[in-house]
Structure 1
Amino acid sequence: MHTLLKTGRLFYGLAIIAYGVQQIVIQDFRPQIIPPFPSWAHQYSIFAISSGVAMIVLGVITTGFVKIVSCNPATACLYLGIYFLLLIITCHIPYLLFIFPHKLSHLGVWADLLKVLAFSGGSFVMTTLFLKDQPPTSKNKRSTKDHLFLAGRLFFCTTMVLFGWSHFVYNSFISQLVPAWLGMSRFWAYFGGVALISAGLAIALKTFLRQVALLLAIMLFLWFVLVHVPGAIANPAAGRGNAIVSAFDAILFCGTALAISRYRNITLTEPEKMN
Structure 2
Amino acid sequence: MDGLTRIGRLLYAVAIVFFGLQCIGSGSGRGPVPAAGPPWVQTQRGLALLFGCALIAAGMCLVLRWYGRAAANTLGVGILLRGLVIYLPTLLASPRDPRPWTSLFELAAMGGAALVIAGTFPSEAAGQRRGSQWLLVETGRWLFAVSLVVFGIQHLMYSKFVAALIPAWIPGHLFWTYFTGIAFLLVAASLVSRIQVRLSAGLLGLMFLLWVILLHIPRVAKVRGFSGNEWTSLFVALAMCGASFVLSEALQERWKSSVRSNGKS
Superposition TM-score, scaled by structure 2 size: 0.84
Residue 188 (structure 1) aligns with: 176
Residue 262 (structure 2) aligns with: none
List runs of 5+ in structure 1 lacking aligned partners. 37-41, 268-275
Distance 2:240 2:194 in 1: 18
Distance 1:122 1:144 in 2: 16
Residue 2 (structure 1) aligns with: 2
Residue 52 (structure 1) aligns with: 52
Alignment of 1:1-275 (within 5 A): 2-27=2-27, 30-32=35-37, 33-35=39-41, 42=43, 44-64=44-64, 68=66, 72-97=67-92, 100=93, 103-131=94-122, 143-235=131-223, 237=225, 240-263=227-250
Work out the number of aligned pairs and report it: 246
Deviation at 1:107, TM superposition (A): 3.4
Superposition TM-score, scaled by structure 1 size: 0.81
Greater Cα offset, 226-235 or 86-95:
86-95
- What is the CA deviation profile of residues 8-31 of structure 1, one whole-angstrom value per residue up to 9, with x for unaligned ones? 110110110011011111226652
**Given residue 108 of structure 1, which amino acid in structure 2 is its aligned partner?**
R
**Partners of 1:23 and 1:30 within 8 A in 2:** no
Deviation at 1:231, TM superposition (A): 1.1
CA 1:34–1:19 in structure 2 vs 1: closer, same or farther (change >3 Å)? closer
**Partners of 2:91 and 2:97 within 8 A in 1:** no
Deviation at 1:242, TM superposition (A): 0.8
**Given residue 109 of structure 1, which amino acid in structure 2 is its aligned partner?**
P
SS in 2 for 1:262: helix
CA 1:236–1:75 in structure 2 vs 1: closer, same or farther (change >3 Å)? farther
Distance 1:172 1:221 in 2: 22
Identity %: 28
How large is the Cα RMSD of the aligned pairs? 2.5
Deviation at 1:265, TM superposition (A): 5.4
Deviation at 1:94, TM superposition (A): 2.9
CA 1:218–1:63 in structure 2 vs 1: closer, same or farther (change >3 Å)? same
SS in 1 for 2:96: coil
**Partners of 1:131 and 1:145 within 8 A in 2:** no
**Given residue 102 of structure 2, which amino acid in structure 1 is its aligned partner?**
A
Deviation at 1:122, TM superposition (A): 1.0
